[in-house]
A and B are shown apart, each in its own frame.
Chain A
Amino acid sequence: MSKSNETSGKPATENQFVTVHIGGQLFGLPIAAVHEVFVPEQVTRVPLAPPEVEGVLNLRGRIVTTIDLHRLLGLPAVSEGHKMAVGIEYKSESYGLLIDEVGEVLAIDAATREPCPPNLDPRWAEMVEGVHRISGELLLVLDVEAVLAGITTRLAA
């Protein structure tokens, strides 16, 4: 995404996040991790795949493995399918994180990040790096690497 012009000139202590909604919760993905945002179409299910893997799809000639964040976060599945996906690269492979809705790009002062509350669902705590309070809402910073590494380690176990 080429939105860097929006935030040019800001101090370096600010982190930029792409905000997304998953099951009503606001999450922020570090902008450097986000390659693109696309509408997933023609997703092919993969038999015997781990439950978090929704399927594979063709994104301009690349095969993208899509991950169902609802399932991963233990949220109820959405009935009418996912509307959007965030494309990320992990270990030089393409993945698509399925989400409900993409918000905007936010620059947040890194100093305002707070650690995860200790009573956070342990599954969430693995994937959430910290919390920002923004205008009456809580933004959870999603650690993309941890999300994907979690699936891989669970497979290995």
Chain B
Amino acid sequence: MDELLREFLTETNESLDVADAELVKFEREPNNANILNNIFRLVHTIKGTCGFIGLPRLATLAHAAETLMDKFRQGVPVTPEAVSLVLQTIDRIKEILAKLEASGGTEPEGSDADLIALLEAMANAETAEAAEPQVTVGELVPQVLERPLLPGEVPLDELERMFRETEVEIETPKPARGKGRKSTSTAAPDEPAARTQAPSAPAAAEPQKPAEPDAPKAAGNEASAAAAANNVSNQSIRVNLDVLENLMTMVSELVLTRNQLMEIARRQEDSDFKVSLQRLSTVTAELQEGVMRTRMQPIGHAWQKLPRIVRDLAQDLGKQIELEMAGADTELDRQVLDLIKDPLTHMVRNSADHGLESAAERRAAGKPEKGTIRLSAFHEGGHIIIEIADDGRGLNTDRIRAKAAEKNLASEAELAKMPDSQIHRFVFHAGFSTADKVTNVSGRGVGMDVVRSNIELIGGNVDVRSADGKGSTFVIKIPLTLAIVPALIVEVARERLAIPQLAVVELVRIQPGSEHRIERIKEAPVLRLRDKLLPVVHLGRLLGHASEQEESTVEDGFIAVMQVGNRTFGVIVDAVFHTEEIVVKPMSSMLRHIGMFSGSTILGDGTVIMIVDPNGVAQAAATTIESTASQAASETAALPGDAEAKVSMLVFRAGSQEPKAVPLSLVTRLEEFEVDKVELSGGRPILHYRGDLIPLVYADERMTPRAEGTQPMLIFSDNGHTMGLVVDEIVDFVEEPLNIELPCETPGMLGSAVLAGKATEVLDIAYFLSIAFGERLGKMEGHHAGRVLFVDANPFYRNMVQPMLRGAGYDVHACASQEEALSLLGSGLRFDMIMADIDQAGPDGRSFAEAVRDLPDIGDVTLMAVTGASLPSNSERSRMTGFDRCLGKLDRAGLIAALRECNTSYGEAA
């Protein structure tokens, strides 16, 4: 492609964008000859250049558009149809230009006869129509207002007034922006450009002729203003981006050298070059700033297309929309500008479609029919803030709340407590759209979350403010530039890395004995940080460094808590140095496949370090965490069915140094509470917890309540009863076969078992529940939901499951062996359900089931097999032949659900 053509393409594309915006403006202010002249000039230039370069197709098309526009210049009324047609033409021209660029200079085949015919027809029709009002000026007014005006249409009387004002204005110039004056005054400087298409129609020429001699002053002023504007545009030149990039590189290198020189000068006491060096330093800083500025562009460039989009939308949706733009000259980095164009467009579309009501609704709400979308931009401390505000109906808080509940984004209770502003933020969740119908504009629910992730990708954030009936405002905050980012310099495996600071929420120091330690659930390391468990990954491991030190021994180091999207996780690093503003440099294509890095940078001392990509780390972290989980799952699945099933136990300390444990599945939650929040009721400690009063029970009577600070507790919930078991310290989670080796008689203690190689006391939760809810649990037994026979040789399970089922309202009878159960049943006792453990030795499941079924008048009792393993394996399945279902013993929710199900089926059968 030759240089000339390339230049033509860039320039024409820019002109077309301007023409686009101007046309929309023109449609609103059809009597503003200034705008019209502008558009006319643009189209004319395109036509001229096309003819010159030898692009006949473009030239013909541009000519047809020009002809129609010339009619407007002659005073023909401007209709939305005509403007749409011209816009369509501009689109076609763009299309041809795109193909032209792709093909490298050959005009694409094709015919524009359709458009040209339309344009010509419109031009001729307009002339015919317009001829009449020109003759009968003044008598036209009453004829027109028969139907409501379309958005953007101009009432004829206004046009009329324009004509009249044009003449009147000349004698009495108004202080207000007289439209007639404008049209006449700008005609003079525009003359040369428009000369080829000199207006000949009398309608346009007549008001101009008397104007010129009468308003020489105004014309002169405007002319000089126009000349000044022209000069500004002449003073800018096009520079290839590579040249700028290169300049940037050289400047950063200069800065480095300067820094090294300064370091040398510091070491020498009184050197002669100190003063010169100082000057060099200042100049360097200024140079750097100057070069940075060359990358900046006004945000208006990203807004250029919006007026057109809003106009088209207004027509599609049958709404009246005014687009206001403020702060279009706010500058930001060109790269950022490109990246926010699409999100901005999307949000403006959203405001037009969902935000603004229809004219009728607005009237009913007592608002002006014309809705307003206001775009504004301003700088705020290294960031640029862009606001997209509409004066529409505002976000529908109730509907978002309902939708959030439906999508399970939060529990009903949480939603009820959330402030509206927080509810509103749900619109940024994936797949979240409350639009009832999907229009071609929006409503597919794939919008706002994409907007959010795009903005977050460049280190920005987006928020929303909304007032019911008053409108909503989306606020985008983005960094001015991506080329320079503040970063945290860290060390991993003796290598320095930069982590963009925007992704780092906080830094946590981990030390032996300090409050923050890395704990692990199964293999996965976690960090407990203010009541939250954060998954933790070792950056060194993600980066493929052989774990020189086992992760479990990481006791001294730092965790950078990072937030990417809605994921928060901790990243272990060996050391944290400082923060630094780094210049981001792209990576070589040979390294670009490494998702872990987003680029590299040169530090002050001249070394190159890699920049960690938070998104990449988040992804890698997610897969590591998942694979640990799936590994855990497969391990459980691989358990031999007949060997002792593994049980997850929560190990803690209370009262004494010996570890104590409870099955993890019984624990609803782990919490810490502040000891001064504990109140006494009837001499027993209670705590206000999540809107409820819960009794607190100390896990060991030797424990002395702490005087201050916080204390951990385990929350047990049982059929609406919640209690807190206070402990001294949560130690670990272990998953091991549970063998209670030393049963003991101490109340509250089931016995001792070896867990993680240590003798551990296993607590009887039933005992503690009975302390907390003694009477109430007793009462529950009165109206039992059913009679259950529980058969298990293990006292631990008998003691564990019994209170669990009792709590749920069942009358439970436990026996230690199948023989005992059979003799019970033989003695005539009847149950609704029989649960038998199939892990234990003794007659196999089938024979037990058969024995039960063989009993006389046993009725249709439900036989359930229970197992200690959470997932019944195949061998277990085979052994449970004869049983109605198989369930995990400690799967409380599953057990109770199964029991309920049986109950209802009984009800139906009866």
Taking CB atoms, residues of chain B closer than 8 Å to A46 are 591, 594, 597, 610
Q: How many A-B residue pairs have CB under 8 A?
A: 68
Give the distance in Å from the alpha carbon of A24 to the alpha carbon of B662 in the complex: 69
Interface residues of B in 102-137 (CB under 8 A from A): none
Taking CB atoms, residues of chain B closer than 8 Å to A83 are none
B495 touches A152 (CB 8 A): no
Interface residues of A in 34-53 (CB under 8 A from B): 42, 44-50, 53
A63 touches B602 (CB 8 A): yes
B440 at the interface (CB under 8 A from A): no
B437 at the interface (CB under 8 A from A): no
Interface residues of B in 588-610 (CB under 8 A from A): 588-591, 593-594, 596-597, 600, 602, 606-610
Taking CB atoms, residues of chain B closer than 8 Å to A50 are 590
Taking CB atoms, residues of chain B closer than 8 Å to A148 are 590
Interface residues of B in 547-585 (CB under 8 A from A): 585
Give the distance in Å from the alpha carbon of A53 to the alpha carbon of B256 in the complex: 26
Given A47-B543, A56-B600; A61-B591 close (CB under 8 Å): no
Give the distance in Å from the alpha carbon of A148 to the alpha carbon of B600 in the complex: 20
Give the distance in Å from the alpha carbon of A93 to the alpha carbon of B250 in the complex: 16
A3 at the interface (CB under 8 A from B): no
Give the distance in Å from the alpha carbon of A30 to the alpha carbon of B342 in the complex: 47
B545 touches A58 (CB 8 A): no
A57 at the interface (CB under 8 A from B): yes
A48 touches B544 (CB 8 A): yes
Taking CB atoms, residues of chain A closer than 8 Å to B250 are 61
B874 at the interface (CB under 8 A from A): no
Taking CB atoms, residues of chain A closer than 8 Å to B593 are 155
Given A58-B607, A63-B600; A48-B594 close (CB under 8 Å): yes
A60 touches B253 (CB 8 A): yes
Given A44-B495, A61-B253; A151-B590 close (CB under 8 Å): yes
Interface residues of B in 444-489 (CB under 8 A from A): none
Interface residues of A in 115-130 (CB under 8 A from B): none
Give the distance in Å from the alpha carbon of A50 to the alpha carbon of B589 in the complex: 12
Closest A residue to B495 using CB positions: A45
A19 at the interface (CB under 8 A from B): no
B252 at the interface (CB under 8 A from A): yes
- The listed residue (A48, A63, A152, A155) touching B608 by CB distance below 8 A is A63
A57 touches B608 (CB 8 A): yes
Residue in B250, B543, B589 whose Cβ sees the most chain A Cβ within 10 Å: B589
Residue in A47, A53, A62 whose Cβ sees the most chain B Cβ within 10 Å: A47
Give the distance in Å from the alpha carbon of A94 to the alpha carbon of B588 in the complex: 8
Proximity bits, A80-101, B CB within 8 Å = 1, else 0: 0000000000010111000000
A61 touches B590 (CB 8 A): no
Q: Is the interface of A mostly helix, strand, loop or mixed?
A: mixed
Closest B residue to A56 using CB positions: B608
Give the distance in Å from the alpha carbon of A136 to the alpha carbon of B709 in the complex: 84
B589 touches A91 (CB 8 A): yes
B249 at the interface (CB under 8 A from A): yes
- The listed residue (B495, B543, B596, B606) touching A42 by CB distance below 8 A is B606
B602 touches A53 (CB 8 A): no
Proximity bits, A133-157, B CB within 8 Å = 1, else 0: 0000000000000001001100100
Given A42-B607, A58-B606, A61-B602; A93-B256 close (CB under 8 Å): no
Closest B residue to A57 using CB positions: B608
Taking CB atoms, residues of chain A closer than 8 Å to B252 are 61
CB distance from B898 to the nearest CB of A (A): 49
Q: How large is the interface on A (under 10, 10 to 19, 20 to 34, 35 or more residues)?
A: 20 to 34
Given A47-B495, A48-B543, A48-B544; A95-B588 close (CB under 8 Å): yes
Closest B residue to A93 using CB positions: B588
Closest A residue to B253 using CB positions: A61
Proximity bits, A57-89, B CB within 8 Å = 1, else 0: 110111101000000000000000000000000
Number of B interface residues, CB 8 Å? 25
Taking CB atoms, residues of chain B closer than 8 Å to A65 are 588, 590-591
B607 touches A62 (CB 8 A): no
Taking CB atoms, residues of chain A closer than 8 Å to B588 are 56, 63, 65, 93-95
Residue in B590, B594, B597 whose Cβ sees the most chain A Cβ within 10 Å: B590
Interface residues of B in 416-449 (CB under 8 A from A): none
Closest A residue to B543 using CB positions: A47
Interface residues of B in 15-65 (CB under 8 A from A): none
A48 touches B253 (CB 8 A): no
B594 touches A49 (CB 8 A): yes
CB distance from B374 to the nearest CB of A (A): 43
CB distance from B568 to the nearest CB of A (A): 24
Given A44-B495, A48-B596, A61-B250; A53-B591 close (CB under 8 Å): yes
Give the distance in Å from the alpha carbon of A49 to the alpha carbon of B610 in the complex: 12
Give the distance in Å from the alpha carbon of A44 to the alpha carbon of B495 in the complex: 8
Give the distance in Å from the alpha carbon of A42 to the alpha carbon of B495 in the complex: 12
Proximity bits, B773-815, A CB within 8 Å = 1, else 0: 0000000000000000000000000000000000000000000
CB distance from B490 to the nearest CB of A (A): 13
A44 touches B543 (CB 8 A): no
Taking CB atoms, residues of chain B closer than 8 Å to A60 are 253
Give the distance in Å from the alpha carbon of A129 to the alpha carbon of B778 in the complex: 92
Taking CB atoms, residues of chain A closer than 8 Å to B590 are 49-50, 53, 65, 148, 151-152, 155
CB distance from B910 to the nearest CB of A (A): 67
Interface residues of B in 607-656 (CB under 8 A from A): 607-610
Taking CB atoms, residues of chain B closer than 8 Å to A47 are 495, 543-545, 594, 596, 610
- The listed residue (A58, A93, A155) touching B602 by CB distance below 8 A is A58
Taking CB atoms, residues of chain B closer than 8 Å to A93 are 588-589
Residue in A61, A93, A94, A95 whose Cβ sees the most chain B Cβ within 10 Å: A61
Give the distance in Å from the alpha carbon of A45 to the alpha carbon of B607 in the complex: 11
A61 touches B249 (CB 8 A): yes
B610 touches A62 (CB 8 A): no
CB distance from A141 to the nearest CB of B (A): 23
Taking CB atoms, residues of chain A closer than 8 Å to B600 are 44, 56, 63
Give the distance in Å from the alpha carbon of A45 to the alpha carbon of B543 in the complex: 11
CB distance from A21 to the nearest CB of B (A): 24
Give the distance in Å from the alpha carbon of A53 to the alpha carbon of B587 in the complex: 13
Closest B residue to A155 using CB positions: B593
Give the distance in Å from the alpha carbon of A56 to the alpha carbon of B495 in the complex: 13
Taking CB atoms, residues of chain A closer than 8 Å to B606 are 42, 58
A44 touches B591 (CB 8 A): no
Residue in A46, A91, A95 whose Cβ sees the most chain B Cβ within 10 Å: A46
Given A56-B600, A58-B602, A63-B602; A44-B589 close (CB under 8 Å): no
Taking CB atoms, residues of chain B closer than 8 Å to A94 are 588
CB distance from A92 to the nearest CB of B (A): 8
- The listed residue (B253, B545, B608) touching A44 by CB distance below 8 A is B608
Proximity bits, B523-552, A CB within 8 Å = 1, else 0: 000000000000000000001110000000
Taking CB atoms, residues of chain B closer than 8 Å to A45 are 495
Closest B residue to A62 using CB positions: B249
Closest A residue to B540 using CB positions: A47
Interface residues of B in 716-730 (CB under 8 A from A): none
B589 touches A152 (CB 8 A): yes
Give the distance in Å from the alpha carbon of A62 to the alpha carbon of B609 in the complex: 13
Give the distance in Å from the alpha carbon of A147 to the alpha carbon of B865 in the complex: 67
Give the distance in Å from the alpha carbon of A53 to the alpha carbon of B596 in the complex: 16
Give the distance in Å from the alpha carbon of A34 to the alpha carbon of B865 in the complex: 78
B249 touches A44 (CB 8 A): no
Give the distance in Å from the alpha carbon of A155 to the alpha carbon of B594 in the complex: 11
Interface residues of B in 680-704 (CB under 8 A from A): none
Give the distance in Å from the alpha carbon of A56 to the alpha carbon of B609 in the complex: 8
Proximity bits, B819-856, A CB within 8 Å = 1, else 0: 00000000000000000000000000000000000000
**13 new A-B contacts at CB < 8 Å, known A44-B608, A61-B253:** A42-B608, A46-B594, A47-B594, A48-B594, A48-B596, A56-B608, A57-B608, A58-B602, A61-B252, A91-B589, A151-B590, A152-B589, A155-B590
8 A–B contacts, CB within 8 A, in A order: A42-B608, A44-B607, A47-B545, A48-B543, A48-B596, A56-B608, A61-B256, A94-B588
